Amino acid sequence: MRARVVAAVSCRLLAAWSCVLLAACLQPPAVTDLGRPVSEADTASNPISRDAGISAAWSVRESLWLFGDTSQRNGPAFLPGTTAAIGPYTRGVVPNALREVPTPPAPHSAGPSAPSPFLPQPRGLRASAELGCDGTSPYPASWPAGLARIPGTEQLLLVYAETCVFSSTDMRTQRLTLSVYDPSANLFRSTSTPFGALPLEAGLPVAEQLGSPVFGDDGYLYLFGHDVTTSKIIVARVAADPVSWGDPASYRWWSGTWNADPAAAVSIVSVPFAGSVHVADYTGLGAHRLAMIVQTEFASGRFQVFEATSPTGPWHRGPAGRVPDECGTTGYGCYALNGHAELSTPNRYLFSWYSPADLSGLGHLRLASVTW
């Protein structure tokens, strides 16, 4: 009898522990808020509000950060397009001593005490067949779509969208531009624009709105894109040299095979919503290789991380969750989710997002980490 009672109790305890273990497995991994990445110009008396927040290491010590539209008190109140900052990085740590980059080709010794325009302002964009996009409404903006270190160099490939901004809901990418940037000299060494809309005011097809450059070890440059309407996520490739990536005829899109027709591109992952997509190479961090973060719900900052060893996949689901943020109740809420390969560790994936409530409602980027 005693043996039967002990056995019964043991079975109940085992069942209880099984429930605990199952609950632990089903619980999403904790997302840790690490704080705000800032430059030395971002002070309590002169706060800076900025979004986008794409970064990449260009040397073993320093990385470059690209920001979208920037608001500030210590200078022009609003800078449309892209601003940049540069500075040291440490894995797992939020950068807090970035230096604002002056407008190229000014030397870094002339570094400003406030943000300055970084990418060239687009010329010749069209609001309509009759109206140019060169005023304040609509206005032209160069917005960052990705950057990556060019293998074997201390130069970066920057990808950006030349956009005519009509309103907060109508922003038409009219050209896609790739530039080789030398961070140490603050110079653009070359610039190519492989894709331009015809007519410009119609905007580029989604398949040509590419970003997140990744250099493969096979001699190709891979770029990724997404369609907010269909939640389709695509990949294209081109030979990894400026002559090729400047030639639209050299691009191929993945359709099960590499296809010259961008309309044939198929989705490489399945998600309920693709509000933003960022891909980078994490080779050297344990077993990690390529990682993609997708914002899977509008405004809330819900995300899904995928990993793969090849740009075409298969892409396997990694950690998922929600940014540690209330995200507000108006506008776009939380957005601009981007991974940071130079800050991540073998155990923690670091990413940033735009927090509308940060800086007492001015809005700013924040960094978070999640176990992977």
The answer to whether the beta carbons of residues 328 and 363 sit under 8 Å apart is no
Per-residue pLDDT, 329: 74
* CA-CA-CA-CA torsion sign (315, 317, 322, 323): negative
pLDDT above 80 for 3: no
pLDDT above 90 for 199: yes
Per-residue pLDDT, 76: 85
What is the rounded average pLDDT for all residues in the chain? 92
pLDDT above 50 for 22: no
Per-residue pLDDT, 74: 82
What percentage of the chain reaches a pLDDT higher than 70? Answer: 92
Per-residue pLDDT, 27: 63
Task: Please tell me whether the peptide bond between 242 and the residue prior to it is cis, using omega within 30 degrees of 0.
Answer: no
User: Model's pTM, two decimal places?
Assistant: 0.91
pLDDT above 90 for 54: yes
Enumerate the domain spans of the chain: 34-371
pLDDT above 60 for 241: yes
pLDDT above 50 for 122: yes
Burial (CB < 10 A; 0-12, 13-18, 19+), residue 322, is middle
pLDDT above 70 for 6: no
Q: Give the type of residue at 341.
A: A
pLDDT above 60 for 325: yes
Per-residue pLDDT, 283: 98
Structure-token match 């019964």, residue found? 8
- Lowest mean per-residue pLDDT among 10-24, 27-41, 94-108, 312-326: 10-24
User: In sequence order, which residues have a C-beta less than 8 Å from that of residue 150 and are 6 or more positions away?
Assistant: 156, 157, 180, 215
Long-range pairs for 187-191 at CB < 8 Å and ≥24 separation?
187/104, 187/105, 188/104, 188/105, 189/155, 190/242
Confidence of residue 169 (pLDDT cuts 50, 70, 90): confident
Burial (CB < 10 A; 0-12, 13-18, 19+), residue 20, is exposed
- Give one word for 243, left, alpha or beta, with left for phi > 0 and alpha for psi -120 to 50: alpha
Cα 265 from Cα 254, distance rounded (Å):
5
Confidence of residue 8 (pLDDT cuts 50, 70, 90): very low
34-371 under CATH 1.10.287, yes or no: no
The answer to whether the beta carbons of residues 70 and 49 sit under 8 Å apart is yes
- The residue ranking higher by pLDDT, 44 or 145, is 145
Q: Residue 95: which of 342, 337, 284, 290 has the closest Cα?
A: 342
**Helix-, strand-, coil-residue percentages of the chain, each rounded to 5:** 15, 40, 45
Task: Please tell me whether the peptide bond between 199 and the residue prior to it is cis, using omega within 30 degrees of 0.
Answer: yes
Structure-token match 């991380």, residue found? 305
Per-residue pLDDT, 21: 38
Extract the tokens encoding 56.
Answer: 């990449």
Q: What is the pLDDT of residues 92-108, one digit of tens each?
A: 999 999 999 999 999 99
> What is the mean pLDDT of the segment spanning 121-132?
96
Per-residue pLDDT, 28: 66
CA angle 305, 49, 324 (to 5 degrees): 35
H or E stretch at 69:
strand 62-72
Q: What is the pLDDT of residues 58-86, one digit of tens each?
A: 999 999 999 998 998 888 899 999 999 99
pLDDT above 80 for 183: yes
Rg (C-alpha) for the chain, rounded Å, is 22
Structure-token match 């891979």, residue found? 222
Cα 186 from Cα 191, distance rounded (Å):
14
Structure-token match 């980027």, residue found? 365
